[in-house]
């Protein structure tokens, strides 16, 4: 397939004003295919940009290298890039904005609001803030940092237990009417809250954790997304690196110069890592069988679950990016998928996926609309 026609179908937005034809750099083969993500059409895998300079799993990386990495991703056909105001905070949006400025209108950038950040110091208070006036302020600041006239996908990062979701959805609806935002998203919402938000302003995409390490969305959420026509962006799809087979019970996360988030994540204690190694062994077995790698099997497994799920593995390494994109070529027959699902289903994952204070923010329901609370 010619590069231009491939981009035509894997390109940025299904109902967008497609700009001038864009071609990948000579010699770089784009990753084939596209996925419908709610009303958007994007590449089957997106790129999580969080760890590039926010210090989550590595020290902030060289700016030029990360810009080159994002350009390489574009050349490989990646059309969804994920960031948030809270990553850094601010600096991740700035980096993504700088890197993707040449591709305006040809890629989709998702960003998020909703953590309470002191704008004077850039310090996160630990709380949430989805008050409508704050959402408007964040939108304007994110637009500046991302160098955009409109945010493609604007997610509430976590449900604010003090703000009715109708007020949040209403604020985003106003931003859409003003042309500052194109689509509304929620991350880790409670399902009643999702339906209430959707009734005010259609939710295009939910961004939730989903991987072989955390299969929570299978209980009820996938069916609800399907019913409502909402796409799912799967965060931490390779289990914060665990599902790549490069981490074991001897891996330590107390590194000098930055705080690796995994140091305090219950899944990354030596005991949890040891207990969960059967999952890595399973992925290695399948990687041998499918002539691929554990990371590719972990991602291909997600892609095989539903055609409207887009995993966004995060990386700072171009080889890892290429390896991850290789997942698109890994296909399972229905029998293979049944077998892999059954085997993975027998593996009991030990440890909570998040620390308690973070876990309570997931699946939370917003308070009732103001008029009902009087
Ligand atoms: N909505 C939310 O609340 C939320 C929460 C967390 C994350 N996110 C989004 O989801 C994205 C992805 O999640 P994540 O970064 O937390 O987890 P992830 O994608 O599951 O894992 C990232 C880790 O895996 C490593 N890695 C990636 N590919 C690899 C490969 N092929 N071989 C070996 N190691 C590899 C990366 O290191 P290298 O840099 O060395 O490759 C990094 O340490 C983030 O960037 C962010 O945009 C959203």
> The domain containing residue 116 runs over which residues?
3-373
pLDDT of residue 257: 81
- Ligand 1 centroid distance, CA of 240 (Å): 5
Burial of 341-369, coded b for 16+ CB within 10 Å and e otherwise, reads beebeebebebebbeeeeeebbeeebbee
d(CA 45, CA 33): 10
Query: Which regions in the chain score pLDDT beneath 50?
Result: 1-22, 373-374
- Res 1: pLDDT: 28
Cα of 133 vs centre of ligand 1, distance in Å, is 31
Choose among 255, 256, 284: nearest CA to 268: 255
pLDDT tens-digit readout, 194-244: 999 999 999 999 999 999 999 999 999 999 999 999 999 999 999 999 999
Does residue 236 line the site of ligand 1, with CB under 6 A? Answer: yes
| pLDDT at site 15 | 36
Per-residue pLDDT at 7 = 31
Q: Whose CA is nearest to atom 37 of ligand 1?
A: 315
Counting the structural domains of the chain, the total is 1
The CATH code of the domain that includes 246 is: 3.20.20.100
The whole-number pLDDT of residue 2 equals 30
CA of 217 to the centre of ligand 1 (A): 19
- Give the position, in ligand 1's atom list, of the atom nearest the Cα of 296: 31
Give residue 40's pLDDT. 97
Ligand 1 pocket check for 314: Cβ under 6 Å: yes
How confident is the model over 17-75, as pLDDT tens digits?
333 444 556 667 777 789 999 999 999 999 999 999 998 999 999 999 999 999 999 99
| pLDDT at site 24 | 57
């Amino acid at each position: 397939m010619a590069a231009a026609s491939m981009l035509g179908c894997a390109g940025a937005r299904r109902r967008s004003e497609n700009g001038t034809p864009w071609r990948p750099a000579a010699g770089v083969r784009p990753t084939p295919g596209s996925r419908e993500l709610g009303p958007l059409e994007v590449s089957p895998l997106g790129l999580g940009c969080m760890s590039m300079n926010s210090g989550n799993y590595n020290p902030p990386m060289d700016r030029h290298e990360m810009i080159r990495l994002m350009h390489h991703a574009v050349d490989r056909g990646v059309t969804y890039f994920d960031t948030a105001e809270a990553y850094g905070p601010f600096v991740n949006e700035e980096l993504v904005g700088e890197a993707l400025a040449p591709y305006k209108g040809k890629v989709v950038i998702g960003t998020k609001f909703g953590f309470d950040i002191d704008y004077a110091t850039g310090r996160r208070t630990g709380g949430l803030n989805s008050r409508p006036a704050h959402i408007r302020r964040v939108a304007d600041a994110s637009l500046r940092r991302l160098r955009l006239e409109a945010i493609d996908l604007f997610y509430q990062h976590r449900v604010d237990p003090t703000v009715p979701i109708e007020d949040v959805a209403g604020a985003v609806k106003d931003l859409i009417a003003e042309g500052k935002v194109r689509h509304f998203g929620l991350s880790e919402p409670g399902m009643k809250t999702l339906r209430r938000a959707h009734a005010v302003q259609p939710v295009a995409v939910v961004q939730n954790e989903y991987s072989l390490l955390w299969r929570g969305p299978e209980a009820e959420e996938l069916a609800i997304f399907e019913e409502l026509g909402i796409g799912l962006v799967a965060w931490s799809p390779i289990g914060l690196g665990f599902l790549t087979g490069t981490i074991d019970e001897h891996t330590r996360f107390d590194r000098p110069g930055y705080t690796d988030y995994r140091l305090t994540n219950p899944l990354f204690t030596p005991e949890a890592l040891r207990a969960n190694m059967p999952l890595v062994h399973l992925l290695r077995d399948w990687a041998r069988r499918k002539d691929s790698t554990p990371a590719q099997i972990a991602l291909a497994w997600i892609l095989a679950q539903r055609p409207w799920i887009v995993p966004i593995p995060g990386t700072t390494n171009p080889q890892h990016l290429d390896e991850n994109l290789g997942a698109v070529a890994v296909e399972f027959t229905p029998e293979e998928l049944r077998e892999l699902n059954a085997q993975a289903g027998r593996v009991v994952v030990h440890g909570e996926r998040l620390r308690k204070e973070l876990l309570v923010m997931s699946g939370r329901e917003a308070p009732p609309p103001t008029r009902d609370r009087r």
